[in-house]
Amino acid sequence: MIVKDELLVKLRRFFDLNLYEVKLWSALLSRGVSTAGELSDIADVPRSRSYDVLESLEKKGFVIMKLGKPIKYIAIPPNEVVDRVRKNMQLNSQEKIRRLESVKGSPLLTELETLHTQGIALVDPAEMSGCLRGRSNVYNHLDYLIKESKKSVNIMTTEKGFMRKMEGLRSSLEKARKRGVRIRISAPISKDNKNVADGLKNVAEIKHNSTVNSRFVTVDGQDVVFMTMNDKDVHPSYDIGVWVKTPYFTSAMDSLFNSVWNTK
C-alpha cells in the first residue's frame, strides 16, 4: 500500500520520528505482521538500515518483535501508540503532548486506523505473539490489554511485582472493574504490601499465594503475558515478557491460576 508523502510528513511531525521510521511503521501498519526484508521493499528503505530502525521503533513502543524465525514484527494499534508516546514525551515537553493529543479524533488517526484494520484483517491469529523487552514495555502492553478487557483479568505475581503492578496499572484496573470485569490477583501478601492489598478491596479480589512463584497475566481467556525470569534476578531494563494471543494456551494458564486460587 502506497503511503502519501503528506501523511509521512504528518507522522514525522506528530510522533517525532525520522523518515525511515515513519516509512517502516506505516508499511507495517498496512501489513499487520511482516519481516524486516518485506518492510524494506514496501517502504523503500535500505535493508542494511531496516533492523536498526525497527529496533528503534520497538524501544519507543511502536512495534513488537514476534517470536520465532524468521524475525517478524507486529504493529501496535495506532491509538495505543498515541498513549505510549504521550507518556514518554510528557517528561520532556508539554508542547509535544499538546500536538499528540490533537491527533486523537483527527483525520490523521482515521488514516492510521484504516491502515491497521486493513492489515490486521489479513493476519492469522496464530501470528499474534511477541516478545516484550524491558519492564516498561511489558507494563505498557499489560495496560493496553486491561483497557481492552471485557470479562476477566487474572494476575499472578510476586510480592514486589504486586506493588509495582498496583502502582502502574491501578487506574486501568479500576476502570475495568467499573465496566464489570472480574479482577483476581494471586500474590504473596506480607506486612510490606498488606496496606496496598487492603486499599484494593473495591477493585480486585486478592488472595495470598505462597506456593507458586510465577509472574503472568491472562485477559478474557484470550491473551496471556508471562515473564520469563525471576524479578529478583533481573534489572528492569532486561526483564522479558512473552505475549501470546491464543485461547488454548491462555486456558491452560487460567487452569493453573484457578488451582492456586482454589487452594485452601
Q: Do 157 and 219 sit in the same domain of this protein?
A: yes
Q: What pLDDT was estimated at residue 2?
A: 61
Q: What pLDDT was estimated at residue 115?
A: 78
Q: What pLDDT was estimated at residue 122?
A: 59
Stretch (H or E) spanning 218: strand 216-219
Enumerate residue ranges in the chain where pLDDT < 50: none
Among 69, 93, 126, the domain-final residue is 126
Beta bridge partners of 131: 65, 242
Q: Do 102 and 48 sit in the same domain of this protein?
A: yes
At position 209, the amino acid (one-letter code) is: N
Among 67, 97, 126, the domain-final residue is 126
Q: Do 120 and 239 sit in the same domain of this protein?
A: no
Q: Do 120 and 27 sit in the same domain of this protein?
A: yes
Q: What pLDDT was estimated at residue 123?
A: 57
Q: What pLDDT was estimated at residue 125?
A: 57
The cell for 58 is 520497538
Q: What pLDDT was estimated at residue 170?
A: 93
CB 176 within 8 A of CB 153: yes
Q: Do 105 and 198 sit in the same domain of this protein?
A: no
Among 78, 95, 126, the domain-final residue is 126
Q: What global pTM score does this model have?
A: 0.67
What digits encode the pLDDT tens for the residues 245-256? 989 899 999 999
Q: Do 77 and 38 sit in the same domain of this protein?
A: yes
Domain range for 65 is 5-126
Q: What pLDDT was estimated at residue 113?
A: 80
Q: Do 252 and 139 sit in the same domain of this protein?
A: yes
CATH number assigned to the domain comprising residue 110: 1.10.10.10
CB 195 within 8 A of CB 166: no
The total number of structural domains that make up the chain = 2
Stretch (H or E) spanning 110: helix 107-120
